[in-house]
Amino acid sequence: MPRYALLVALMILFTGPLPAAERPSFLFIPIDDLNHWVGHLGRHPQTKTPNIDRLAKMGVSFTKAYCTAPACNPSRASLMSGLRPTSTGCYDNGQNWRPGISEDLLLNTVLSKNGYRVYGAGKIYHGAGDRGGLFDDYFAGKGGNRKGRPDAKDNGVGGISFAPLACADEDMPDHAVVSWCIEKMNEKSDRPFFIAAGLVKPHMPFSVPKKWFDMFPLDQIQLPPHLPDDLADVPPAGVKMAKPEGDHARIVASGRWKEAVQAYLATIAFCDHQVGRLLDAWEKSPRRDSTIICLWSDHGWSLGEKSHWRKFALWEEPTRTVHIWKVPGLTPADARCDRPVDYSSIYPTTLALAGIPIPSHADGKDVSSLLRDPASAWSHPALTTHGRGNHAVRSEDWRYIRYANGDEELYHDAKDPLEYVNLATKPEFAAKKAELAAFLPKSEKPDLPRGRGGEEGEGETPVRKKGKKKAK
């Protein structure tokens, strides 16, 4: 067994911190607004993601991975702190997470204090300018979310913005972020690195160079599954989250639903290309054999399922994510794990694999046992929160939603993967509801202050605070 592989195997049983020189490096690939439309998950038949699928073949892909919150700010604050939204009070995009989370607890800060070279680029927290915690160096990226002139005069429908761009890949901010991270990957040092390459696309606007749109001819686009009356058995609180008279009504009236789907597929393909650039560089990098790769998207995205668009809801589409780990010497190749996990697991798992003791504040569970054996026993469902009092519990076969006003939904996802039939009102499922309700939070922090915590776009508030920049 290679020396590093032996070290990784021992990390799972390790009882004290490893010396910095013996620790693995980490390549984190956070992706913004990417739902489960990737090839190996099979949710949309037309998606083209050869590089994300290539990474899945290298390690373990979680087929039932879920965000802790279906919005950028609370999802990322939770993931990077190890604290659920209910432990911090950060529930939505308009809030400032800092009063609820000490920056000393953040993952990048803990790694920095344990000997890592910590580098960040692009969107890691809720905006490229939101540099939470300690970094040795940070690259916010160049330019805005668009480059070049759209080829179409109309850039979308209402708040759903999309159009091809008349520019090259090299003009896009994500390209510069990846190039910067590749440089850091090839730096010479005796210290391991933690590199977070935060890709903004496919966040809206769904606008990338036109060549990516050309991969998906408009006359061949398949819409996502949708029932016109799907909200008929959804309680009022769920219908309020869906907002069917908003984005969806406007998209349908415009006749441009297929254009929006085409644009999202094109933007995913562009994102996948950037992931491929990172993987190509990793394969040639000096620390290739001692680098752990963790890819995650901050939440899902709906494109008309349940007459809902965007994230901001508790069903499968806005909460299910893409999540892949490759750990040298630990993860089997081309493995799928069907156990439900949520993103509270990433913080403790990263520290466990680094040989760093997991702080007591961490809410989530270390999934190292699932990385070693994806079929091993697991008794923890995934928990997602959207706004104080609104929660979804996702087990391997079921989804239970309880809203702040007491409204409920229950779906047997094993038999009803599109969540068409709400079983919550049927007496024969009372025991199943009670079983899943036992995993709901026992307490919830009040909402944090509003006014800082978003990035430009989707009605979110721009971040201005740069935070701590360097740790030397």
Residue pair 288/282 in contact by the 8 Å Cβ criterion: yes
- 90 a catalytic residue: no
Catalytic residue among 40, 67, 72, 271: 72
Q: Which of 126, 308, 323, 386 is catalytic?
A: 126
Identify whether 40 is a catalytic site residue. Answer: no
Q: Annotated catalytic sites, by residue? A: 72, 126
